[in-house]
Amino acid sequence: LRTTLLFLSPKEVYTAPDSCEGRCEEPFSEEDECHCHAECERSHSCCEDFHRHCRAEGFSSRRDAITDEDLLRVSEQLYRADHNKAQPSDVAINPQYQASPDETGDQEDRSPQPLYKYVNEKLFSKPTYASFIKLLDNYQRVTGREEDVTTEELREQDNFLKEVMKTELMKKLFAFLYEKNRYGSEQEFVADLKEMWFGLYSRSDGERDSSGFEHVFSGRAHTSWRVLGSTGLRKLTPGSRLSLGEVKKGKVSGFHNWIRFYLLEKQGIVNYFSHNFDGPWDTYPDVLGLQFSWDGFYKEVGSAFIGCSPEFEFGLYTLLCPPRCHLSLGGYSLSIQTYTWTKSTYGNGKKFIATAYIISS
């Protein structure tokens, strides 16, 4: 009896589950963490290094790959198409103290006045603003509890999507993604927006208790413990209702929307401390990196577009560029951080939005 030994290289034996190295055109499998087949870009399920390893043949053609140059071009298009943004006379902010990198973690209120001196609330009567604001009170329960989405809340989601899709900004975004063969029709695009942003997934205990829209724009408390200054911790009761950003270990995470911040600061719920970054823009949208507290919780370094329309943020983050990508707004560069939720998918392996925010430094 003759035995033949076949020696395989480590690369042939094992490929990283979160990489496309050696996996280009691999058939779709629900068990994979990410994908490298020809349709993965359309389903937003590609591995982070898909373009590096599979760009030439990874999608239907080289022309369909979204390049860094494409992202710079389309972000400028969306910036110019934000016709619903605030005008300089609509919003006045008072940044006050600028914190150094060593000071952002001090939890010291160095700005005695609110961040927003004035906001023209007539902005909020515009259809995209009004439909956006109606969504904000749908997400106020702590994590770990199944989200009870009512028929009215589903209508509010549909109405928001209907209103934003009327705008030139979202039409330009769809045209770009259609050109890149990501969607075959506007109807398909809107259906996917609803799933990726409003589809529920679990951030704790297996309960479908969170969504991308909730985390990025509205937020909730991630923990059942609430920090009360120096007096220690008090456990929240099951009926306690919270709003704003996700909370981890006594600190706020998430919460990147200027409208949400303004409304809560007006109610006295948010206390602005300082800022560590003020963008170079002399009109809106502008970018601010800031520190604040909310009812005892602290945000060490937050970031927000100031004065943009809801559709601008929604559209820009929908680009779902690689985890960190470089964009251009009004001739100035900025970076966006995006993450998809990797623990569950919808449809044919498509991924929900986990978080998205501007990098302010």
Give me the active site residues, please: 215, 256, 299
Distance CA 57, CA 63 (A): 10
Q: Are 269 and 295 in contact (CB under 8 A)?
A: yes
Distance CA 315, CA 303 (A): 17
Q: Are 260 and 244 in contact (CB under 8 A)?
A: yes
